[in-house]
């Protein structure tokens, strides 16, 4: 068990924490106005369930190739890799003002968010340069809470504004994109704990060999992918269930997203403190189980009240998973190989998003009205992946004598 440090009170890290938090606050505006709405908007303007799934999971297709591009891109400093790609991703939604069809809007979303995902691969290294490992949980909790709070408020406001007409997205999405681009640019002003040393160019073969030499990590990635497929199945089936079965409109969807994000944001503080006291695996596993409870509660009973309760549970659980996600990679990566571990992990992240998202869309196309059953199937995959992931990591630590 790790003893918690009092780093959050250290004045040395306050400028980093404040600027990082402001940046994420702006990115929360982008998330509330764009990523929380885009699938629902595509559905409401005539997009088929398969197009909703493609819009949600398409940006992750680029991650399949992360193991190929990471060895070449790891030579560059992580800050511009993260900031510039976020600026470009947010800027892509300025084009939404001129887009009229579901396919056009989906294409813009896939293009912009694909660029974001490329930079997200290097966020693990960037985060490790900002804060010490002993207080990473609590330090992360502040910007993540700010992002969640902004997302909550903007989700409701955007849902209310979008009720004004099917064309309202043409200015809601660009406005949120502009704020997101501003937040991304603020990352250049965040002080870093230490400087990054120049790195020689790597080779794909060497990167794959480095990760393959750690079979415990490979095993964890494989079983985690089972839960990941379940996550993306749920993310694609629940919007269809909300819109087509429950009959939710833009405002009710915004309220549901606000319940989710409120629980999600407030939970970062207790999860962060717990993460600094124990290893990241128990935090992630507990989060998975709460996500399962949220999916089941949302999809098993066909009423708006149960949807709200399920979204709260989903939010609490997902915050535990998200705050532990980068630390669990940092804990397992050896030496300066964080980007290579991230590249391997992100490739599987892309694969499970494509499998889960497109599979979900295909099943719902072939079986109209099956969105509730598809969501419950996703919950079962979460349970299997959670148990398998816990066993894989414990076996790895036992083999290493940790």
Structure tokens at 125: 């290294």
Which pLDDT score is estimated for 25? 94
In the predicted model, residues of the chain with pLDDT beneath 50 are 1-7, 9, 402
The b-or-e profile of 5-25 (16+ CB within 10 A means b, else e) is: eebbeeeebeebbebbbbbbb
Domain ranges of the chain: 12-192+202-400
Which pLDDT score is estimated for 371? 63
Per-residue 3-state assignment (H helix, E strand, C coil) for 318-366: HHHHHHHHHHHHHHHCCCCCHHHHHHHHHHHHHHHHHHHHHHHHHHHHH
- In the three-class reduction of DSSP (H, G, I as helix; E, B as strand; rest coil), residue 165 is classed as coil
What backbone phi and psi angles, to 5 degrees, belong to 267?
A: -75, -15
Class of domain 12-192+202-400: mainly alpha
Which pLDDT score is estimated for 29? 93
Q: Could you read off the pLDDT of 258-307 as tens digits, one per residue? A: 788 788 889 999 998 888 887 777 888 888 888 888 888 877 776 788 88
């Amino acid at each position: 068990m790790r003893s918690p440090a009092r780093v959050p009170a250290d004045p040395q890290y306050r400028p980093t924490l404040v600027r990082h938090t402001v940046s994420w606050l702006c990115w929360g505006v982008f998330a509330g106005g764009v990523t929380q709405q885009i699938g629902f908007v595509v559905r409401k303007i005539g997009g088929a369930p398969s197009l909703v799934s493609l819009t949600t999971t398409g940006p992750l297709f680029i991650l399949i190739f992360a193991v190929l591009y990471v060895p070449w891109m790891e030579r560059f400093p992580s800050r511009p890799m993260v900031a510039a790609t976020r600026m470009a991703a947010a800027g892509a939604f300025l084009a939404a003002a001129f887009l009229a069809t579901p396919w056009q809007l989906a294409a813009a979303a896939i293009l912009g968010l694909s660029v974001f995902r490329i930079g997200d691969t290097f966020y693990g290294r960037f985060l490790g340069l900002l804060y010490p490992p002993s207080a990473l949980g609590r330090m992360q909790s502040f910007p993540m809470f700010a992002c969640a709070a902004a997302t909550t408020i903007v989700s409701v406001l955007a849902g209310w504004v979008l009720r004004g007409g099917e064309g309202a997205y043409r200015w809601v999405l660009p406005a949120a994109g502009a704020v997101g681009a501003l937040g991304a640019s603020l990352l250049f002003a965040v002080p870093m704990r230490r400087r990054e040393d120049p790195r020689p160019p790597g080779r794909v073969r060497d990167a794959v060999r480095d990760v393959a030499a750690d079979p415990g990590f490979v095993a964890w990635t494989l079983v985690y992918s089972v839960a990941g497929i379940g996550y993306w199945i749920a993310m694609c089936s629940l919007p269809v269930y909300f819109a087509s079965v429950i009959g939710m409109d833009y405002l009710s969807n915004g309220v549901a997203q606000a319940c989710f994000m409120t629980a999600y944001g407030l939970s970062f503080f207790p999860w962060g403190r717990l993460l600094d006291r124990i290893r990241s695996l128990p935090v992630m596993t507990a989060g998975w189980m709460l996500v399962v409870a949220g999916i089941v509660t949302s999809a098993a009973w066909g009423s708006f009240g149960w949807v709200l309760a399920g979204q709260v549970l989903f939010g609490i659980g997902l915050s535990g998973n998200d705050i532990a996600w980068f630390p669990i990679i940092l804990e397992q990566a050896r030496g300066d190989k964080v980007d290579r571990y991230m590249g391997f992990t992100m490739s599987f992240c892309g694969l499970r998003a494509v499998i889960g998202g497109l599979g979900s869309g295909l099943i719902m196309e072939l079986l109209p009205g099956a969105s509730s059953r598809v969501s419950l199937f996703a919950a079962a995959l979460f349970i299997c992946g959670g148990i398998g992931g816990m066993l894989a990591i414990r076996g790895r630590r036992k083999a290493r004598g940790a």
